[in-house]
């Protein structure tokens, strides 16, 4: 049972553009929603995370938007750069619980 659905599977964005990746979850008990970034040959690394008591969290060029009623959240990358080219995973968990990952989005930023 896939509890976190992520789209799109792959994404190509021009340098300077906005990259948007979407995720939906099923378990209403989830209350922690991280995004991980993975470069080829490396393990995933935490990028940014949000809890459902806020609707948006911004860290530099990266923003998470959260819609609790729709059970959806998204990652926006502003002013996308070639160095942002990587695979991005959304995830969800209960606080301190098992983290369930989405299938990932391969992002390619055109120079």
Partner 1 sequence: EAGVAQSPRYKIIEKRQSVAFWCNPISGHATLYWYQQILGQGPKLLIQFQNNGVVDDSQLPKDRFSAERLKGVDSTLKIQPAKLEDSAVYLCASSLTGGGSGANVLTFGAGSRLTVL
**Nearest distance from C-beta of residue 37 to partner 1, angstroms:** 11
**Nearest distance from C-beta of residue 48 to partner 1, angstroms:** 11
**Nearest distance from C-beta of residue 46 to partner 1, angstroms:** 6
Alpha carbon distance 54, 37 (integer Å): 22
CB 98 within 8 A of CB 14: no
Cβ partners under 8 Å of residue 38, min gap 6: 44, 45, 86, 87, 88, 89, 104
Residue entry with tokens 């391969």: 106
Instruction: Please tell me whether residue 15 binds partner 1 under the rule CB under 8 A.
Output: no
Tell me the site size for partner 1, rule CB under 8 A. 25
CB 18 within 8 A of CB 107: no
Instruction: Please tell me whether residue 41 binds partner 1 under the rule CB under 8 A.
Output: yes
Among 35, 102, 107, 109, binds partner 1 (CB under 8 A): 102
**Nearest distance from C-beta of residue 15 to partner 1, angstroms:** 26
Q: Where are the alpha helices (DSSP H) in the chain?
A: none
What residue ranges bind partner 1 (CB under 8 A)? 4, 6, 32, 34, 36, 41-46, 49, 51, 89, 91, 93, 95-99, 101-104
């Amino acid at each position: 049972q896939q509890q976190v659905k992520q789209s799109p599977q792959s994404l190509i964005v021009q340098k300077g553009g906005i990259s948007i990746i979407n995720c939906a979850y099923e378990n209403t008990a989830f209350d922690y929603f991280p995004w991980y970034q993975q470069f080829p040959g490396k393990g995933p690394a935490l990028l940014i995370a949000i809890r459902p008591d806020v609707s948006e969290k911004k860290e530099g060029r990266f923003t998470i938007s959260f819609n609790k009623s729709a059970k959806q959240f998204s990652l926006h990358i502003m002013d996308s750069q070639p160095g942002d080219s990587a695979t991005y995973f959304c995830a969800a968990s209960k606080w301190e619980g098992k983290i369930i990952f989405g299938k990932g989005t391969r992002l390619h930023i055109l120079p």
